[in-house]
């Protein structure tokens, strides 16, 4: 099956990177790499300032994965990394001891920060950094303004029992074990989707929602004022992939996030959370894993076309086939 001429993908970090690689692989195997444009609208809610450097985890996870220089085991950072500078920062008491910045990774953070200080937008910086490798896809920050996810979590030591912290502290220091009460997108009121992100969503033939964290990756993309409307308004079919298989999240600690917003950790519950486009939501189609085939009727009941297919992405073959299944569902809508 030939690939569409243009594909937009909403994606977060680790799960997003695997899925984007799968879409790229499927397009290559279809012989359409030259004529198909893949644009990835990437979550920037995990971004932060650390040791004076601007860190953009999800953009970096996808960039490194498409470049083939990522640490496949950890899912973030560079392969063959060393941590000499990080040890020095710890000795100076600068940065976070629980958040390791590899030496090669720091090279990207210094380059990004230097380019930002010269007045470039994050979109321009991403264009510059990603030009280093033939990624086969364009990475687009969801917003150029800084909109960082702040987690308000239960902490018995905090004055009123709730402590606000940057998402990265909650995620990497506390491993999402402090119950989250709410997720705040700090600065979101003054933010808007970038023109390039809106263009990708508005003009692509297909829009795919990667199996990323529905709350702090996809939710924070859609939470940028105007983004949800843009997805709802596109003439392209919008097809998502469940980040939950057989009641457990594929990666990360998305269940802690889903629980915090009162959504069950289930393939159909996430689809219903995103909502059918016909009912005020963003989805036209949804893929669940074969083990969740029993949930297809519930998703269809919600007005979303659903199919049960293998969702585990273990290698280029399984990732490419998942992409093909998502595009096939989109083509049927």
Cβ neighbours of residue 88 under 8 Å, at least 6 residues apart?
Answer: none
13 binds ligand FO1 (CB under 6 A): yes
State which residue, 100 or 204, has the beta carbon closest to ligand FO1: 100
Residue with tokens 């998703």: 299
Give the nearest distance from C-beta 135 to ligand FO1 in angstroms: 17
Burial class from Cβ neighbours inside 10 Å (0-12, 13-18, 19+) for residue 71 reads middle
Write phi, then psi, for 107 (nearest 5 degrees).
-55, -45
19 binds ligand FO1 (CB under 6 A): no
Instruction: Give the HSE-up count for residue 34: Cα atoms under 13 Å, Cβ half-sphere.
Output: 1
Binding-residue total with ligand FO1 (CB under 6 A): 18
The first and second tokens of residue 57, run together, are 């985890």
Query: For 188, which DSSP code?
Result: G
171 binds ligand FO1 (CB under 6 A): yes
Of residues 65-94, those binding ligand FO1 (CB under 6 A) = 76-77
Query: For 143, which DSSP code?
Result: B
Cβ neighbours of residue 117 under 8 Å, at least 6 residues apart?
Answer: none
46 binds ligand FO1 (CB under 6 A): yes
State which residue, 172 or 291, has the beta carbon closest to ligand FO1: 172
State which residue, 258 or 299, has the beta carbon closest to ligand FO1: 258
Of residues 225-254, those binding ligand FO1 (CB under 6 A) = 252
Give the nearest distance from C-beta 140 to ligand FO1 in angstroms: 18
The first and second tokens of residue 246, run together, are 């057989």
State which residue, 60 or 268, has the beta carbon closest to ligand FO1: 60
- Candidate residues 55, 258, 306, 329; the one interacting with ligand FO1 per rule CB under 6 A: 55
Of residues 114-153, those binding ligand FO1 (CB under 6 A) = none
113 binds ligand FO1 (CB under 6 A): no
Q: What is the DSSP string of 111-139?
A: HHHHHHHTT--HHHHHHHHHTTS--SSEE
Residue with tokens 């971004």: 47
State which residue, 219 or 252, has the beta carbon closest to ligand FO1: 252
Give the nearest distance from C-beta 50 to ligand FO1 in angstroms: 8
Residue pair 267/249 in contact by the 8 Å Cβ criterion: no
Sign of the dihedral through C-alpha 295, 297, 298, 304: positive
- Candidate residues 105, 144, 255, 325; the one interacting with ligand FO1 per rule CB under 6 A: 105
211 binds ligand FO1 (CB under 6 A): no
Q: Which residues bind ligand FO1 (CB under 6 A)?
A: 12-14, 46, 55, 57, 60-61, 76-77, 99-101, 105, 168, 171-172, 252
């Amino acid at each position: 099956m030939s690939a569409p001429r243009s594909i937009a993908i909403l994606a977060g970090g680790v799960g997003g990177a695997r899925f984007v690689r799968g879409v790229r692989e499927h397009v290559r195997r279809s012989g359409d790499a030259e004529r198909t444009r893949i644009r990835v609208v990437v979550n920037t809610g995990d971004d932060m300032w650390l040791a004076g450097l601007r860190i953009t985890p999800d953009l970096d996870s996808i960039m490194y994965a498409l470049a083939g220089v990522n640490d496949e085991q950890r899912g973030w950072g560079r392969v063959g990394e060393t941590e000499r500078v990080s040890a020095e920062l710890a000795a100076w008491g600068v940065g976070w001891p629980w958040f390791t910045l590899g030496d090669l990774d720091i090279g990207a953070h210094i380059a990004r920060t230097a380019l930002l200080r010269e007045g470039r937008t994050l979109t321009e910086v991403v264009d510059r950094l990603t030009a280093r490798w033939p990624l086969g896809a364009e990475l687009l920050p969801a917003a150029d303004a800084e909109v960082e996810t702040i987690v308000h979590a239960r902490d018995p030591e905090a004055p009123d029992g709730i402590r606000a912290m940057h998402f990265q502290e909650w995620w990497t220091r506390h491993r999402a074990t402090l119950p989250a009460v709410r997720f705040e997108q700090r600065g979101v009121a003054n933010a808007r989707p970038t023109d390039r992100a809106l263009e990708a969503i508005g003009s692509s033939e297909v829009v795919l929602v990667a199996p990323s964290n529905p709350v702090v990756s996809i939710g924070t993309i859609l939470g940028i004022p105007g983004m949800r409307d843009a997805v709802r308004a596109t003439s392209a079919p919008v097809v998502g992939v469940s980040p939950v298989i057989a009641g457990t999240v594929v990666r990360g600690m998305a269940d802690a996030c889903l629980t915090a917003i009162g959504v069950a950790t289930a393939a159909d519950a996430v689809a219903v959370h995103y909502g059918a486009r016909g009912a005020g939501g963003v989805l036209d189609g949804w893929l669940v894993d074969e083990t969740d085939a029993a949930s297809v009727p519930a998703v269809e009941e919600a007005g979303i076309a659903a199919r049960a297919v293998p969702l585990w992405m273990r290698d280029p073959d399984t990732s490419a086939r998942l992409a093909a299944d998502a595009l096939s569902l989109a083509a049927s809508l």
